[in-house]
Amino acid sequence: MIVKMLKAYAVSRRDDQQRLLEALREMGVVHLKPIDPAKAVADEQTLAAIDRLGRAAQMLAEIPPTGERPELTAQQAADEAMGIQRRAAEGRSRLQALHRQIDQLAMWGDVTLERFGQLREAGVEVRFFSVQEGTAGQIAADCVEPIGQPAGHRQLVAVVVGSDDAELPEGAEPIGLPQRDRPSLREEAREVDAALQADQNRLRALAHLADEMAAERGRLQERAQFMVARGSGLAGEDLYAVQGWVPAGQADQLADALAAAGVAAGVQTMDAGEDETPPTLIRYPAWARPIKGLFDVLGTVPGYREIDLSGFFMLALPVFAAMLIGDAGYGLLFVVVPALIYRKAVAAAGQPGVHLLIVMGIATIVWGILTGVYFGVSPRQMIDAGGALGGIGEALGACQVIRGDVKEQAYLIMKISFVMAGIHLSLGQLRQALDVAPDL
């Protein structure tokens, strides 16, 4: 059910500000409402550290730790890990660009630019031209050498020029030397690749500190929450005040709890105004608590002035799930598998979600027994098989209550669904009537 909330004010001496907030935090029953929302924020440095630690811990959690454990604090390790991540992105981009340049310079082979410089110093001038295919023989020079295969009706030729300029055919286009040669590009690519590998090894070492980063992030989050709580209050010269919401059943004990914590504070509570929207606190009955798993997945929380439908869902959902699945064998899997990996399942989906799955499995088992379906096999089919399976089929057939063909069972499911829907709609109308009663 949705717990009634009261608006609460607490005022203490300004010197007791820290102890007041710490006492409220320990009690955990007051939802603070900022007096000035603009001041109820954590400092940027803390928020940035929380972000870095979270991203670093998430990244390193996927990397198996190897090597020696670095002697660094969690924040130092997170800063280094994020720096490595940025360098790695830049390095991979640079490596791709280098490989593209190497491919583009394939026609130059592995000759270095230094060799051309040496030839020039020796008095040998080598020039390159793009000419029409088949016209290379028209070039008059000391030496003419075609380079590579013709492409696009054009041919690249190297021309050695002596004292006189070369005579070129019409349409010849000069080609300048590239700014880099392939050997130097390959060497840079090897250096970049080695740096990436070294950074990857460093990340494996930093992965030893992933748990420390997560723990430090949790501590900083608590610190940030405390900063927000401190900024939520109103500080005067002598007094410090906070406002918030407290469950009605615990409002009377708030002043006594603060006094027991050594904080002298004045406390006042009052009902919420019509124009105010208190936070929603839901206390599920024990039998309906598993449905919280569904609401957590959907991210659905009713408003404070709305109706808690957890009980209706807890009754209806297992029935609908059982009718949809309709097989006792699969229902058994929904019970046994979560039970076998209970701790891991709870860690992944939460206790309510696991319990809800088990409840739906139990309901499916019951429906499957009533309709006589076990992994798609009916008791009649087991009996027809004979032997030990036939005996099991006879025992299971005695438990079958809902009989008939597929169409008849489908019609029964429809009737049950419509009856449940009618009950839900009627209860909803009745609940709305109670809200406005006795007004006709």
DSSP string, 244-261: EEEEHHHHTTHHHHHHHT
Question: Which secondary structure element, helix H or strand E, spans residue 376, and what is its range?
Answer: none
The string of pLDDT tens digits covering residues 4-17 is 899 999 999 988 88
Predicted pLDDT at 151: 62
Residues whose CB is less than 8 angstroms from the CB of residue 389 and which lie 6 or more positions away in sequence, other chains included: 382
Decide: residue 333, CB within 10 A, 0-12 exposed, 13-18 middle, 19+ buried.
middle
> Cα-flanking dihedrals φ and ψ of residue 241, to 5°?
-130, 145
Q: Where are the domains of the chain?
A: 1-35+233-277, 40-105+181-230, 106-177, 286-435
| Distance spanning both ends of the chain, measured CA to CA | 27
Task: Mark 128-137 as b/e (b = at least 16 C-beta within 10 Å).
Answer: bbebbeebbe
Question: Which secondary structure element, helix H or strand E, spans residue 37, and what is its range?
Answer: none
Predicted pLDDT at 199: 92
How many angstroms separate the Cα of 317 from the Cα of each of 40, 75, 266, 351? 41, 46, 47, 17
C-alpha to C-alpha distance for 225 and 233, rounded to whole angstroms: 13
Predicted pLDDT at 111: 81
Predicted pLDDT at 83: 94
> Taking all residues of the chain, what is their mean pLDDT, rounded to a whole number?
87
pLDDT at 52 over 60: yes
Determine contact, residues 146/136, Cβ cutoff 8 Å: yes
Our separate counts of H helices and E strands in the chain read: 16, 9
C-alpha to C-alpha distance for 98 and 187, rounded to whole angstroms: 10
DSSP code for 180: S
Determine contact, residues 272/33, Cβ cutoff 8 Å: no
Q: How confident is the model at residue 185 (pLDDT cuts 50, 70, 90)?
A: very high
- In sign, the C-alpha dihedral spanning 254, 258, 260, 265 is negative
* 3-state DSSP assignment of residue 243: strand
- pLDDT > 90: percent of the chain: 38
What is the β-pairing status of strands 234-235 and 239-247?
Answer: antiparallel
Task: Say what the pTM is.
Answer: 0.61
The string of pLDDT tens digits covering residues 112-122 is 888 888 888 88
Determine contact, residues 325/364, Cβ cutoff 8 Å: yes
Decide: residue 20, CB within 10 A, 0-12 exposed, 13-18 middle, 19+ buried.
buried
Predicted pLDDT at 174: 82
For 97-180, list the strands marked E by DSSP: 125-132, 143-151, 154-161, 173-175
Q: How many CB atoms lie within 10 A of CB 380?
A: 15
Predicted pLDDT at 290: 93
Reference 270, options 298, 293, 251; nearest CA is 251
Q: Determine which of 138-142, 241-245, 268-272, 307-311 has the lowest per-residue pLDDT on average.
A: 138-142
Predicted pLDDT at 149: 60
Q: Determine which of 193-207, 216-230, 343-357, 402-416 has the lowest per-residue pLDDT on average.
A: 402-416
- pLDDT > 70: percent of the chain: 98
* 3-state DSSP assignment of residue 272: coil
Predicted pLDDT at 164: 62
User: Would you mind telling me the total number of residues written for the chain in this entry?
Assistant: 440
C-alpha to C-alpha distance for 170 and 130, rounded to whole angstroms: 11
pLDDT mean over 326-351: 92
Q: How confident is the model at residue 325 (pLDDT cuts 50, 70, 90)?
A: very high
- In sign, the C-alpha dihedral spanning 430, 434, 435, 437 is positive
The string of pLDDT tens digits covering residues 74-113 is 999 999 999 999 999 999 999 999 999 998 887 777 888 8
CA 66 to chain centre: 26
Determine contact, residues 20/263, Cβ cutoff 8 Å: yes
Determine contact, residues 355/334, Cβ cutoff 8 Å: no
C-alpha to C-alpha distance for 341 and 358, rounded to whole angstroms: 12
Compute the C-alpha angle 27/33/36, nearest 5°: 135
Furthest-apart CA atoms within the chain: distance in Å:
116
Reference 195, options 89, 99, 78; nearest CA is 89
Q: Determine which of 76-90, 374-388, 415-429 has the lowest per-residue pLDDT on average.
A: 374-388
* 3-state DSSP assignment of residue 267: strand
Q: How many CB atoms lie within 10 A of CB 348?
A: 10
Q: How confident is the model at residue 134 (pLDDT cuts 50, 70, 90)?
A: confident
Q: How confident is the model at residue 256 (pLDDT cuts 50, 70, 90)?
A: confident
Q: Determine which of 192-201, 276-285, 349-358 has the lowest per-residue pLDDT on average.
A: 276-285
The string of pLDDT tens digits covering residues 136-182 is 777 777 788 777 665 667 777 888 876 567 778 777 888 888 888 88
Q: Determine which of 120-124, 244-248, 309-313 has the lowest per-residue pLDDT on average.
A: 120-124
> Cα-flanking dihedrals φ and ψ of residue 377, to 5°?
-115, 135
Domain 1-35+233-277 has CATH 3.30.70.1170: no
